[in-house]
Amino acid sequence: MSDRPLLLLDVDGPLNPYGARFIRPRGYVTRRLRPSDWLARQAPGSRLHRRGLRVRLNPGHGARLMALPYQLAWATTWMHDANEMIAPVIGLPGDLPVIEWPELFVRDPEGLYWKTRHVMAWAAGRPFVWVDDMITDLDVRHVAAHHDAAALLLPIDPRRGLREQDFQELERWARDL
Ligand SMILES: [Mg+2]
């Protein structure tokens, strides 16, 4: 298993298409969740604090992801809350490895996305695909120049989340590796 490439998963964007604000996309369910990072940024006693964050998730995604020839890991601000709160809804095991960010949303001196250097360090020379809605061309170029193995940065539209074509791309990339 461990010779499989890594598939690093962001939650908000790829799994929770938060950009689809008014219409629940087909196949998705709505949950109110209270992840610790989000909770820390809400005023205690506020309506949102009480109700929780609205999250849309596709219960079919876990099986689709597990069927891919990758080793899955979380690359999200949800960190361990992803195993606890997201995994049971979409049907993933609750013990996937988690990238632990030392700090969230830290501005990068070269303008990279704040996760990028941590993702590369965590992958530690292994091939990986990273699905996230905030990846830019700068990150793609940086990883291509500095990562010692194959890597694919797959930007996901947060209005749509992971789509059929993304699953196909993930299949293809692993096969061609
Ligand atoms: Mg995101």
d(CA 57, ligand 1 centre) in Å: 14
What SS3 state is found at 136? Answer: coil
User: Which residues make Cβ contacts (< 8 Å) with residue 158, sequence separation at least 6?
Assistant: 12, 13, 17, 18, 19, 133
pLDDT recorded at residue 25: 87
**In angstroms, rounded to a whole number, what is the distance separating the alpha carbons of residues 170 and 128?**
10
Phi, psi values for residue 15, rounded to 5°: -100, -35
Q: Which residue has the tokens 């074509």?
A: 165
**What crossing angle do the helices spanning 137-146 and 116-123 adopt, rounded to 10°?**
30
Virtual CA dihedral for 107, 119, 87, 13, nearest 10 degrees?
50
* Overall pTM surpassing 0.75 (yes/no): yes
| CATH class of the domain defined by 6-18+58-176 | alpha beta
Q: Which residue has the tokens 């049907």?
A: 91
d(CA 10, ligand 1 centre) in Å: 6
d(CA 11, ligand 1 centre) in Å: 6
What number of other Cβ atoms are within 10 A of residue 51's Cβ?
11
Low-confidence ranges of the chain (pLDDT < 50): 1
Longest dimension (CA), the chain: 52
**In angstroms, rounded to a whole number, what is the distance separating the alpha carbons of residues 49 and 11?**
20
119-144 pLDDT, tens per residue? Answer: 999 999 999 999 999 999 999 999 99
d(CA 75, ligand 1 centre) in Å: 9
d(CA 13, ligand 1 centre) in Å: 5
d(CA 37, ligand 1 centre) in Å: 14
Euclidean distance between the first and the last CA atom of the chain, given in angstroms as a whole number: 15
Please report the sign of the dihedral spanned by the C-alpha atoms of residue 43, residue 45, residue 48, residue 49. positive
